[in-house]
Amino acid sequence: MEAPTYSSKQVAEMLGVSPKQIPEDARKEAYTPDDIWELRTTLNAFPARVGHRRQLFLNFKGGTGKTSLSTSYAWRLAELGYAVLLIDLDSQGHATKCLGYEGEDFEKTLLDVLVRKTPLAKVIQKSTLPNLDFIPSNLTMSTVDLALMPMAGREFKLRNALKDVEAQYDIIVFDAPPSFGLLNLNALMAANDLFVPVLADFLSFHGLKLLFETVQSLEEDLNHVLDHVFIVVNSFNATFKLAKEALEALQTHYPEFLLPTIIRQCTKFAQASSEGRPVFVADPTSKGANDIQAMIDNILPRLVAAAAAAQKKGTQQAG
Ligand SMILES: Nc1ncnc2c1ncn2[C@@H]1O[C@H](COP(=O)(O)OP(=O)(O)OP(=O)(O)O)[C@@H](O)[C@H]1O
Ligand SMILES: [Mg+2]
């Protein structure tokens, strides 16, 4: 994918400044991601700190929007100025494709890190945004569960591998495959926050129950507590009576986890993924882009508040 270009209005919005604040000698018809990064540095227009979050998009059920949501979320956070690493955990390589790359073109994946002890930094790739990196995936990743099976400390491989690089990123986003195995267990153990994309249908309920049981057993058996769990309703179509009923059932059963922002069904969103372009590039005015932005607007203040509270606690303990 070619690097996108942006209008001054978009740039001002991404930097959180008014268009007039862009210095006259830096004004252009179209801005590249590098131009924007330079401006961000000049204006010191960095977003509020969120600490170092590791966020997993997971649902054992297939086709609920894990990849569409995780890739557009990661992309938009990078556009807003966060340093982001997107890790494609799925041997289908769809997250890699959504960024405009073919997984098969990459020699190394996370398999090399988890199984062959390649340092994680060696498999990180640069995207077309200067502050968005990714780890690609391809079919070779399909053997990872089997390869991990006989290993000691097999649940902690990913968490340990991330230690060398996590300080470089504000947010690490994982796109999980729709399966229930050691790789996803590694991802859960590496994550602070869990995003569960669900479709508003009753079949999704079954998968949710299993997922919440797994999360609970992680807490009990492996002593790993997630900071946040967000259920995100995706591909919602309010004209379907069943979808409205399913949403009400989610509100009844999971009120504390359900995000108030819903991602509506959006053809342009689906089209963008199939073309290997993030929806914010393909059509930043689409319902899909607007809804992901609304989700970010809902979540970011909570992450900023959590980071501030953790810092305060750290300072108090140090003092
Ligand atoms: N909000 C939406 N509106 C319309 N289509 C969508 C939306 N979200 C996802 N889709 C489409 O639904 C299909 C499944 O989405 P996606 O690949 O993101 O799901 P997934 O959970 O990652 O699937 P898998 O379990 O195979 O990894 C894709 O064709 C995608 O383009
Ligand atoms: Mg997927």
Cα torsion 88, 289, 261, 74: sign: positive
Taken in order 66, 7, 35, 48, the sign of the CA dihedral is negative
Quote the number of domains for the chain.
Answer: 2
Contact 229, 93 (CB under 8 A): no
Best of 273, 274, 291 to mutate for ligand 1, by most ligand atoms within 8 A of CB? 273
Please give the average per-residue pLDDT across 294-319, as a whole number.
91
Cα separation, 33 vs 67, whole angstroms: 23
- pLDDT (tens digit per residue) in 60-94: 999 999 999 999 999 999 999 999 999 999 999 99
Instruction: Show which of 46, 61, 77 is a domain's final residue.
Output: 46
Q: What is the mean pLDDT of residues 306-311?
A: 91
Atom number, ligand 1, closest to the C-alpha of residue 266: 3
1 and 146: one domain? Answer: no
What DSSP state is assigned to residue 264?
B
* One domain, residues 141 and 234: yes
pLDDT at 123 (0 to 100): 98
Whether residue 226 sits in one domain with residue 146: yes
Q: Which residues does 52 contact at the CB level (< 8 Å), separation at least 6?
A: 166, 167, 169, 170, 171, 172
The answer to whether residues 236 and 149 belong to one domain is yes
Q: Which atom of ligand 1 is nearest to the CA of 291?
A: 1
CB 72 within 8 A of CB 288: yes
Same domain, 20 and 95: no
Residues within 6 Å of ligand 1 by CB: 62-68, 90, 94, 177-178, 234-235, 263, 265-266, 269-270, 273, 288
Residue type at position 211: L
**pLDDT tens digits, one per residue of 213-231:** 999 998 899 999 999 999 9
Q: Spell out which residues have Cβ within 5 A of ligand 2, the ion.
A: 66-67, 94
Order the strands of the 132-135 sheet from edge to edge: 125-126, 132-135, 84-88, 171-175, 53-57, 193-199, 228-234
| Concatenated DSSP letters of 118-163 | --GGGG-EE-SSTTEEEE---GGGGGHHHHHTTSTTGGGHHHHHHT
Do residue 37 and residue 182 come from a single domain? no
pLDDT at 319 over 70: no
Convert the pLDDT of each residue in 241-253 to its tens digit: 999 999 999 999 9
Q: What is the pLDDT of residues 116-130, one digit of tens each?
A: 999 999 999 999 999
Q: Are residues 209 and 98 in the same domain?
A: yes
Q: With bands split at pLDDT 50, 70 and 90, how would you rate the model's confidence at 161?
A: very high
Ligand 2 centroid to residue 248 C-alpha, Å: 26
Answer whether residue 111 shows pLDDT above 70: yes
The number of residues in the chain equals: 319
Place of tokens 């073109």: 105
Asked if residue 169 is part of any domain, the answer here is yes
Q: What tens digit of pLDDT does each residue of 10-57 get?
A: 999 999 999 999 999 999 999 999 999 999 999 999 999 999 999 999
Nearest atom in ligand 1 to the alpha carbon of residue 90 is 27
- The token pair at 20 is 């007039």
Q: Is 217 exposed, middle or buried (0-12, 13-18, 19+ CB in 10 A)?
A: exposed
273 Cα nearest atom in ligand 1: 31
Token look-up 């557009």 returns 72
Q: Domain span at residue 37?
A: 1-46
Q: Do 41 and 171 fall within a single domain?
A: no
Distance CA 238, CA 248 (A): 12
The predicted-structure confidence for 167-207, as pLDDT tens digits, reads as follows 999 999 999 999 989 999 999 999 999 999 999 987 777 78
Q: Which of 186, 273, 200 is nearest to 240 (CA)?
A: 200
What CA–CA distance (Å, rounded) separates 278 from 184? Answer: 24
Q: Find the mean pLDDT for residues 117-144.
A: 97
